[in-house]
Amino acid sequence: MRSQLVFATNNQHKTLEVKSILADNYEVLNLADIGCDYDIPETGATFAENATLKSSYVDKNYNIDCFADDSGLEVEALNNEPGIYSARYSGNRGDAVNMNFLLHKMEGVDNRNARFKTVISLIKNGTNYLFEGVINGKIRHKPVGEMGFGYDPIFEPNGYHITFAEMEMALKNKISHRALAMQKLIAFLKKS
């Protein structure tokens, strides 16, 4: 029987992505699965702080080992914006509106370098462990692809000629920022 591990998120896209990555080792539950409907505030100044706020909340209130992530897109020409504000960059939560807001800010900008970054906070037996994943790429001029979520339709990872939104989930789950952080998390869990 697989062990249970709580992923402190209500984001169904993230939940499905992580479930498919961890399927062989863990049954992944999300906040809804444990009856948590509280929207945990992300008031930290870094990805690590936000991830830790979420995992600490679940640990403290539900006494369950869990992990949380905070992820975002950092665009070089925009001083690494949107960063920790990726999910609400335009002032609203909504993938299309945030993506269009970013594309508008990038009009006429030649430097398209960007990176996706994830930091995972795992609280296990009362100790916080952090794992980071980064993938570099560039911002496309217009959205392409139907898969993925967030900024996936405008992010082309280095070494590929397709966006994350054009990529099969199996490939994205090998190379994405979240996948890289998850690989570190899984390696740690297997050792402990």
Provide the angle, in degrees to the nearest 10, between the axes of the packed helices 12-22 and 177-191.
50
**What are the structure tokens assigned to 20, written together?**
């498919």
If DSSP codes are grouped into helix, strand and coil, which group holds residue 57? helix
Q: What is the pLDDT of residue 85?
A: 92
CATH number, domain with residue 175: 3.90.950.10
- Return d(Cα 76, Cα 79) in angstroms, integer: 5
Q: Which domain holds residue 31?
A: 3-191
- Total-model pTM: 0.88
3-state helix, strand, coil in the chain (%, to 5): 40, 25, 35
- Return d(Cα 5, Cα 189) in angstroms, integer: 11
Q: Name the residues annotated as catalytic.
A: 70
Q: Spell out the residues 6+ positions from residue 67 whose beta carbon is closer than 8 angstroms to its own.
A: 5, 6, 7, 8, 55, 120, 121, 122, 123, 185
- The total of structural domains in the chain comes to 1
In this structure, what DSSP letter does residue 35 have? T
Going residue by residue through the chain, which has 192 residues, state the pLDDT in tens, using 9 for 90 and above: 677 889 998 888 878 878 887 778 788 899 999 999 888 888 999 999 999 999 999 999 998 889 999 999 999 999 999 999 998 898 887 889 999 999 999 999 999 999 999 999 999 888 999 999 999 999 999 999 998 789 999 999 999 999 999 999 889 989 999 889 989 998 898 787
Cis peptide leading into residue 153 (ω within 30°): no
Q: What is the pLDDT of residue 1?
A: 62
Q: Do the strands 3-7 and 26-29 form a parallel or antiparallel pair, or are they unpaired?
A: parallel
Q: What is the pLDDT of residue 42?
A: 87
Residue 123 phi/psi, 5-degree rounding, is -105, 115
Q: What is the pLDDT of residue 21?
A: 77
Q: What is the pLDDT of residue 13?
A: 80
**What are the structure tokens assigned to 90, written together?**
């335009």
> DSSP letters along 61-106, please?
HH---EEEEEEEEEEGGGTTEEGGGGGGTTSS--HHHHHHHHHHHT
